[in-house]
Amino acid sequence: MICAVVDACLDAGCDKTIAVVGYKQELVRDALSEYGDKVGYAVQDQQNGTGHAVKCALPNLEGVHDDTPVFVLCGDGPLIRSETLAAIIDLHTKTNAAATLATSVVVDSTGYGRIVRDGDGRFCKIVEQVNATEEQRQIREINPSYYCFRLGDLRDGLARITTNETSGEEYITDVPELLLGSGKTVEVIDAVPPEDVLSINTLEQLAEVDSIFRSRAGSGGRV
């Protein structure tokens, strides 16, 4: 799974890829060994949430200019497309945004963070399932965890996130709202096909995603 994500990043033109590893990290490192120095590693010793995971990766970016765009992606989404990443970075660059996130509209949004917009359709925040109201849980536009941040703004946002009272974790999903509240530009693009955000929590779901993955490869299209 993670190799597909790395491939998409490389195809999209990323100069550096960092894998955040923790429990059974040796398996991840072994799976990525073929990439050599194209992939670096950051260790998250305690599973304190997605925001904490990204914080662990920041030391790997010392010396990188604050204006550099940085993708933050999940390593378990093998249906990711480099074309989607290209669309995100294109909008991010054209608008000079602090953060750009891609969304998807799905039939069943259970388990995903919801995209909350205001009355004019502008992005307000991401609300995780565990913190969502009943009204917010009816929202079908979800966060599939495709982010692009200006590095300096990512650092600033991560420094200001707090531990969620419900889960006890630090969420990367809080960063866009924090940046928006600071007067920064946050762009949203509905660019992720519903098929691409299929989750893998059961053997049946693994088989479904594997079937789609292999059919793409077999058809000669991009995996």
**CA neighbours closer than 13 Å in the CB half-sphere of residue 153:** 28
Query: What DSSP string describes 77-98?
Result: -TT--HHHHHHHHHHHHHHT-S
Does this model's pTM top 0.85? My answer is yes
- Is residue 43 classed exposed, middle or buried when 0-12, 13-18 and 19+ CB atoms within 10 A define those classes? exposed
Strand duo 186-190 + 99-105: pairing: parallel
Topology of domain 2-206 in CATH is Spore Coat Polysaccharide Biosynthesis Protein SpsA; Chain A (3.90.550)
For residue 172, which phi and psi values (nearest 5 degrees)? -65, -25
Per-residue pLDDT in tens (0 to 9) along the chain, 223 residues: 899 999 999 999 999 999 999 999 999 999 999 999 999 999 999 889 999 999 999 999 999 999 999 999 998 888 899 999 999 999 999 999 999 999 999 999 998 999 999 999 999 999 999 889 999 999 999 999 999 999 999 999 999 999 988 888 999 999 999 999 999 999 999 999 888 887 676 777 778 877 887 777 665 544 4
The alpha carbon of 152 is separated from its chain's Cα centroid by a whole number of angstroms, namely: 17
Cα–Cα distance measured from residue 45 to residue 146, given in angstroms and rounded to the nearest whole number: 24
Distance of CA 68 to the CA centre of its chain: 17
